Chains A and B, each alone.
Chain A
Amino acid sequence: QQPVQSPQAVILREGEDAVINCSSSKALYSVHWYRQKHGEAPVFLMILLKGGEQKGHEKISASFNEKKQQSSLYLTASQLSYSGTYFCGTERGGGADGLTFGKGTHLIIQP
């Protein structure tokens, strides 16, 4: 079952902030975040393995609320290079069942 991402699309001016959310109805073992540029393969950003865990990557960070089975990706002071489609992927708790991705959030950064 695919996790649900929101919003579907975001348009920002360079320097603005954005938040992308990911939620699941199932108990989660991990949450992954990837970015994909048009015509390219997805690129790994970060993975969160424990409830409440927050990770950072330059001006991109993420949190994981285990109780709510939700994760959020935070992009601060966005740059043109942040444009692309962001996907969250989830692995469920209770056994190995592969990584399931959401439908993605399209992020457009304008100068």
Chain B
Amino acid sequence: DGGITQSPKYLFRKEGQNVTLSCEQNLNHDAMYWYRQDPGQGLRLIYYSQIVNDFQKGDIAEGYSVSREKKESFPLTVTSAQKNPTAFYLCASSIGRGSPLHFGNGTRLTVT
């Protein structure tokens, strides 16, 4: 079955450590996205990539980094510079602009 996989489901880290969230899709989609979800804030766009080896900052990119070396993979690194990293992170993919997003099941990150 085609789909989008995020791992792990739950992640715990100490403050000051970088952490990388995995996102893999086998839908052959060109576009991939990272969103952060906090209560009452909706889904806020962190980074997106329309094609391999290219990505753009979203609305809240500070303290995050991404890479898009392969079409099927779009890992997100939460750096120690991110002041409030505890959140629910969702990865999504689509064929491209104007197409529906398919979401992964998310990773809940807790930093203490």
- A residues in contact (CB < 8 Å) with B: 1-2, 5, 29-30, 32, 34, 40-44, 47, 49, 87, 89, 91, 96-104
Most A CB contacts (10 A, CB to CB) among B35, B43, B58 go to B43
- Contacting residues, chain B, for A103 (C-beta < 8 A): 40-42
Contact with A along B84-109 (1 / 0, CB 8 A): 00000010000001111111111000
Judge whether B33 and A98 touch: CB under 8 Å: yes
Q: Which residue of A lies closest to B100 (CB)?
A: A44
Please determine whether A87 and B90 come into contact, CB atoms closer than 8 angstroms: no
For B59, the closest partner residue in chain A by CB is: A100
Given contacts A91-B97, A91-B98, are A41 and B43 in contact (CB under 8 A)? no
Please give the distance in Å from A94's CB to the nearest CB on chain B: 11
When distances are taken between beta carbons in the complex, the residues of chain B under 8 Å from A1 are: 59
Residues of B within 8 A of A (CB): 33, 35, 40-45, 48, 50, 56, 58-59, 90, 97-106
Q: How far is the CB of A107 from the nearest CB of chain B, in Å?
A: 14
Chain B residues, Cβ within 8 Å of A100? 45, 58-59
A89 to B99, CA, bound (A): 12
Q: Which residues of B contact A44 (CB under 8 A)?
A: 100-102
* Interchain Cβ contacts under 8 Å between A and B, 28 examples: A1-B59, A2-B42, A2-B44, A29-B97, A30-B98, A32-B100, A32-B101, A34-B101, A40-B105, A41-B104, A42-B90, A44-B100, A44-B102, A47-B98, A47-B99, A47-B100, A49-B98, A87-B43, A89-B43, A97-B56, A98-B45, A98-B56, A98-B58, A99-B45, A99-B101, A100-B45, A100-B59, A101-B44
Query: How many Å from the CB of A13 to the closest CB on chain B?
Result: 25
**Nearest Cβ distance between residue B67 and chain A, in whole angstroms?**
17
Docked pose: A28 CA to B50 CA in angstroms: 18
How far does the Cβ of A89 sit from chain B's closest Cβ, in whole Å? 8
